[in-house]
Each structure stands twice: as structure tokens, then as C-alpha cells.
Structure 1
């Protein structure tokens, strides 16, 4: 297909997919395309199974136009979010609606073969369930998206020296899954997929400039600028967990450096400091937890703080202020309209979030915080899974890739689509 043809085809499809336009006249008004071109493109998309006719729409004086619908159930997307201590796998339709999902505890340090084998087992079970419910044993996987808890070279889909993922450095995650499911696969840092999930289906819908900050075992940020996810030149933009926040050389981060934010305010750091407080007798609440369970977690620390434990309150407040200090710099530098806080530690209570908010509003430029909202994630644990699906969906429907598969009606069986170069960033 020539450029103008596929651009207009993608425009028509995007307007209907996003439900921005429901009828041919609406498509014409919003796209600027002529009536004949709109009719031709709608016919093409209907013939290849991407659009279908719906009921009659409202009349503006003449014959009522027929509404158009995107066939979101024409295929499915596999999505997986791998965290430091858990994995989530899901199957969505082509509009990002989750059809089936499963999550369970695991340890990313088990290595890529063991972890990905389990991801594949879960995905196969979910696919069988979705196909059975749809009554279509041949329902095709159109693409897959995966989020990993470490730096990922987006162009190759390979982790790059991930601090908490021993054995994963350079592992061909994308190639493995593409071969298994014979479909195009995209792999990114899990915080980027979380940001994308909030942008497409969460509290950031309609926003163009935002920061998503995950506070879990580690700390990371996803940056959306002008409505586009910003990955940086190699894919590691937003890795704020390893920004230096202290000169203390006694606390060594898992990345090997000292003074990292994650080493003082991440979930693993809070658990470490809570365990020390329990062993030293500075917190009776945590000492009781240690005696009954043999360990102390960040969730235990949050429960202790909610019960009024002074040491736990101090630890969570300090963590919130350290995170807030760094975010204040980013807010003044980048001037987002929205900061979303997610992750297991962030969801454990209000104390840490309150400390983050207070510090950001106090330390940032007044103009930068005039209309700034700092809020908790609405998608919570599902943000990364939903975002991984939307990552694949967005990539599949770019004009350059659409041109390669629309004639056949489906991108299934074309894993090489990930190599197709794009003319411009995704919008």
C-alpha cells in the first residue's frame, strides 16, 4: 500500500476503534477525508474483518447512517507482567478488555527459563479457556506484550543488566515467545507498561503529560509526554530507583552502587530496616511479627505504622520524603499535569503517599504544582497487565505495520512485524 492510502486506512480504523467516530459522516468530519475515500476505506476494513455494521445511528435530517463497530473479538492479545515477586498473565481482546487472567507469587531470580515456562503454561490455560468460551478453537493470537522488572532494550526485547534478575541479562524474551506463539511480541520495562495501562484505561485517560511512579520491591517511573510513552534512546528512561539520594557508602544497592533511592525507600529497603528495628527491640509490633513469622516485610511495616508504631511511622515518612524530593526535581523539570503512584508499597497505606505529596508540593516550583494532581493508581495491580496488552495493540495498528498485514486480515503468524520501522513515534 502507498503511504496516503494506508494513512487514511489507519485513520478511519483508529477513529472507530477508539469510538471517537461511529458513523461514516462522523469519520468524514473528524478526519477531513472525502465521502468517497471514507466509503472505500470502511469497505476495505469491513471486507478484511476489522469493522462491522451495527444499528442505525441518529439522523441529522436525512437517512439515518449505519453505525460502525470495531471487531474487538476478531483475535486476542497475550499480556504478561513479571514483577520481582509475582507474575500476572492475561488474555485480552483487541480493545484491551481483559477476558481471562491469573496471577501468582514467584521469584524472578529463579531465572528466565523457569519463570517463562510458567508464564507459557498459564497463557496456554487461559487461551484454552477463552477459546472455549468463544466457541472458536482457532481464535488467533494477534500479538503479545510483556513487562519485565528491569531495564529492557526495547528494540530487541532483551533485558539489559537487570539488577534484580540474575540470569536474565541479554535473554531473548521476545524471540522465545514469538517462536512459541508465532506472533509479534513486544517487551518493555514493567513500569512503562503500568504507565501505558493508566494512560489507556486508568486515571490518566485524556492526559498528555504525566509521571507514573511504582513503589514496590524497587522504584521506577514511566514518563508520558505529549500523549506518547517516552522510553529514551535505549529504553531505560525513568529508572529513578538508581538515582543517588545520599552519600552514605554503607548502604549498597542491588545494582552495586551506593546511595540509590531504591536502597533507602524501596520495599526491600523498608523490609530490611523494619527487620533491624525488630531485632534491636526498637519496635514491639515488628518484634512480635518477627517472632511469629520469622521475617518482616514492607506490608508488615505499613500495618505497624497504621497501629501507631513510632519506628514504622518514621521509616515510611522518611521513605516518602526521599521519593518526594526526587519527584520534586522531576516535576519542576518536566512539569506533568498528573503524578500517579502505584506499586505494592504505595498501596499499603496513606502515610507514605502523604509524605510524597507534602514534599513535592513544598519543594517544586509553584508554577509546576499549580494544577498538579498526585494520586494513587486506579488500576492498581492490573496496570502493568493492561498496559502490556495495549503496548502490543498500539504497535500492531501503526500505519506501517497495518500495511503489512491488513490484506491478510490478521497479524497472527507474522512475528517479524516487530522489525518494521516506524516513521514517527506512536501517538
Structure 2
């Protein structure tokens, strides 16, 4: 046991150094020394060893001050590559990155209603080629998709709006198609993962992220881990039956209907028009309402009632630390809509759960997929602990 101790200590120090470089970007020897707590000679030996192995590279010099410029060190990004994909009914949005997290290329392509696998393969191949790679050279691919993959069958459930993706083992099929390892994860789950990594849920152990828009979804995090359920359907609240508590009558079944039918874009447009706010899309209606005085305010309160009615069912069961609102509708309404949802939620449930606007914007699904893919390959290559939120994986291609 004693003979193995120096080797074990070196491995621990190596992982600490690699993790510091991945987290902070290029560092000088003295900066790395300060982070990992080793002596100057030990840190120099460590860097020499990792450079010899090809794990780290010299990456220019850092100037400043009156002294000589210091050598910068970085992780060798070429050790592994990943793809992060946001798959929707109409598009395939692909990002390719190396193991350091450096984004190499992006590519987005339309997705037809037929021959979806061919179109998917073409989009990923083009993105990989733009990065100087082939699909099989990717070490791991993470796909964010509406619905949920059943862990027993690999089939996509709860996604009737994804034509062409029904009835087969999706992770296994994509792994064969791309000749590499593939993970398929629910899109809203990936947004929650991104909020845990770089958003408002950092350090939060129990929270719910709601996506109140077309195909309403939720992600549930309990004790720092995503809750998926027996069939992968935890958080699939689109079909949940709730009453319509909006004061304006838009022809809905007031006693109960699908949650998603109250919050898709046409339903939001109808609710806005009932309050005198005219717009072509739900997102545009929410933005317009913020500038339209009393009529706009009344519409936003009604919309908040609809959102809160569904959220109340989730909060009553889970009693989370935090509820996050994400997606285009939430971002369009901003803190005004969030505050209104919080006020309505307090009228409906006992827990006084804070409601906040999700911090990650832009492409949160793809960003979450990227962090998930990097977590997998960094565990494989460097032995770094994988995230506890690691998604369901398809079969790894031999």
C-alpha cells in the first residue's frame, strides 16, 4: 500500500491541476501553484510530466509588470471532441467543441418531417467536417430533444410533435448512425443542468425549472440530481389537467384542460387579444403587453394565473427551494411576469417558494448538452468525477 501511495498522490495532483486549467483557462506555473497548493518544484515537475504525456500544452506568454513574461499552460484540447445538439421539430443545431471546452464550430440545419435520420446525420457530418473531424472522431454526442427517452426501450415518449422519431431506440440508432457514443436527454433537463453549472441554480439542491411555452415542460432536481422517473417522464407536465383561472374567457374549458393548451403560442395570442393586446405570437404579445399600460398588465396577470396554476401542483408535491422560469415566454416577460407568477403562486400553495427568472439565455439547451458531453469525456480521459446529473446514455459503440 505504501509503495502505491506516491503514484496515487501524483494522480490526485494531476487531476487537480487539469481541473484547475479546465475551470480557469490558461494559467502560469505560479498561478497553478497557488490554486492546487503544491510547491514550486512540485508544480514544475507536474507540468513537465503532463506535457510529456501530451495532456497539457504551452500556450503563449503572459506579460505585465516589470519582470519577464510567464509561460502559460493549457489542457490539450485535441485529446477528445464532443458534439452538443439541440434537436427540435424543425431544426438541428450543432456545436462541436474540444475537451477543453473551446467551441470549434456551429452549424444549424432545417429538419424535414420525413427522412429525419438522414437530415440529422447530414447536419452532424457537416458540423464535424467544419471542425476538421468526421462524426466517428467525436468521443461523445449529447442530443437535447423534446419529450423523454424511456430508459428501458430507448424510445422517445411524450413527444407527439416530433414526427419521424417514434417507435425506435433513438440513442442506439444514432450511435450506429454516427459510429460513436450518443446520449439523448430531455431538452428542459439540459436547461436545468446549465442553470446548475452557470445560472441561478448554482449551489441549489432542490429546484424546479418550468418552461411555459409551446410543449410546456419542467425539470425536477432533487438533492442535486435530475429526477427522471421510471419511464423518463418526470417533468412532462404538458398534458397535466388544470382549470383555466384567467379572468378573460377565450373559449377554453374553464373546469379543466391540458396545461400545454393554455400556454402554447396560439392560446397566449387569444388571451392577449381578449385584453386588447394584438400580436402574432405569444412571445410578441408578452413583449407588447409590457408597454401597453393597464390592458397589458391585465393580460400578464391572467397569463401568470395560468402559469401559476400548473406550477402550484408541482410545488405542492415537491416543496422545492426555488422555481425557475425559462424559455422565450419567460424571458420576454422578464421580472414583471416572474413577480406576477410568484404572487399568484402564493395564493394557491402553502410553501412560499421563491420564483426567479432563469439566468442562462441564448441557446440554453445546447449549452447544457455541451456541459453534459464534456462531463462524460473528462471522466473518460482524465478520471474527473462526472456530473451527478449525467443523462441516460445509449449503448456505447464498440
TM-score, normalised via structure 2 length: 0.71
Deviation at 1:121, TM superposition (A): 2.6
SS at match of 1:397: helix
Deviation at 1:143, TM superposition (A): 1.2
Deviation at 1:54, TM superposition (A): 6.6
Aligned to 2:74: 69
Aligned counterparts, 1:314-353, within 5 A: 314-331=298-315, 333-337=318-322, 339-350=323-334, 352-353=337-338
Deviation at 1:144, TM superposition (A): 0.6
Aligned to 2:209: 212
Deviation at 1:220, TM superposition (A): 0.9
Match of 1:379 among 336, 355, 361: 361
Give me the whole-angstrom Cα distance separating, in 1, the residues matched to 2:135 and 2:147.
Answer: 34
Aligned to 1:390: 371
Contact 1:202/1:379, CA 8 A, preserved across alignment = no
Aligned to 1:408: none
Give me the whole-angstrom Cα distance separating, in 2, the residues matched to 1:219 and 1:395.
Answer: 28
Match of 2:228 among 217, 221, 231: 231
Q: Which runs of 5+ in 2 are unaligned?
A: 1-7, 63-69, 246-250, 384-393
Give me the whole-angstrom Cα distance separating, in 2, the residues matched to 1:227 and 1:244.
Answer: 28
SS at match of 1:144: strand
Structure 1 residues 418 and 155, CA gap change in structure 2 (3 angstroms):
farther
SS at match of 1:165: coil
Structure 1 residues 303 and 201, CA gap change in structure 2 (3 angstroms):
closer
Is 1:92 the counterpart of 2:92? The answer is no
Give me the whole-angstrom Cα distance separating, in 2, the residues matched to 1:227 and 1:104.
Answer: 34
Match of 2:285 among 297, 301, 315: 301
Give me the whole-angstrom Cα distance separating, in 1, the residues matched to 2:211 and 2:121.
Answer: 26
Deviation at 1:214, TM superposition (A): 1.5
SS at match of 1:193: helix
Match of 1:197 among 194, 199, 217: 194
Contact 2:342/2:355, CA 8 A, preserved across alignment = no
Give me the whole-angstrom Cα distance separating, in 2, the residues matched to 1:23 and 1:417.
Answer: 37
Aligned to 2:122: 121
Contact 2:56/2:75, CA 8 A, preserved across alignment = yes
TM-score, normalised via structure 1 length: 0.67
Give me the whole-angstrom Cα distance separating, in 2, the residues matched to 1:236 and 1:216.
Answer: 18
The Cα offsets for residues 337-376 of structure 1, whole Å up to 9 and x where unpaired, read as: 4x3322122233345433223223554546x54xx35124
Match of 1:262 among 260, 263, 274: 260
Contact 1:186/1:391, CA 8 A, preserved across alignment = no
Aligned to 1:423: none
Contact 2:227/2:234, CA 8 A, preserved across alignment = yes
Aligned to 1:182: 179
Q: What count of residue pairs does the alignment treat as equivalent?
A: 371
Structure 1 residues 104 and 137, CA gap change in structure 2 (3 angstroms):
closer
Deviation at 1:73, TM superposition (A): 4.3
Give me the whole-angstrom Cα distance separating, in 2, the residues matched to 1:21 and 1:99.
Answer: 17
The Cα offsets for residues 116-175 of structure 1, whole Å up to 9 and x where unpaired, read as: 4333333333223222xxxx8899322111011112225664312523224422333323
SS at match of 2:328: coil
SS at match of 2:241: coil
Structure 1 residues 160 and 93, CA gap change in structure 2 (3 angstroms):
same
Contact 2:341/2:355, CA 8 A, preserved across alignment = no
Structure 1 residues 12 and 300, CA gap change in structure 2 (3 angstroms):
closer
Aligned counterparts, 1:154-193, within 5 A: 154=151, 157-193=154-190
Contact 1:90/1:98, CA 8 A, preserved across alignment = yes
Deviation at 1:86, TM superposition (A): 4.2
Aligned to 1:293: none
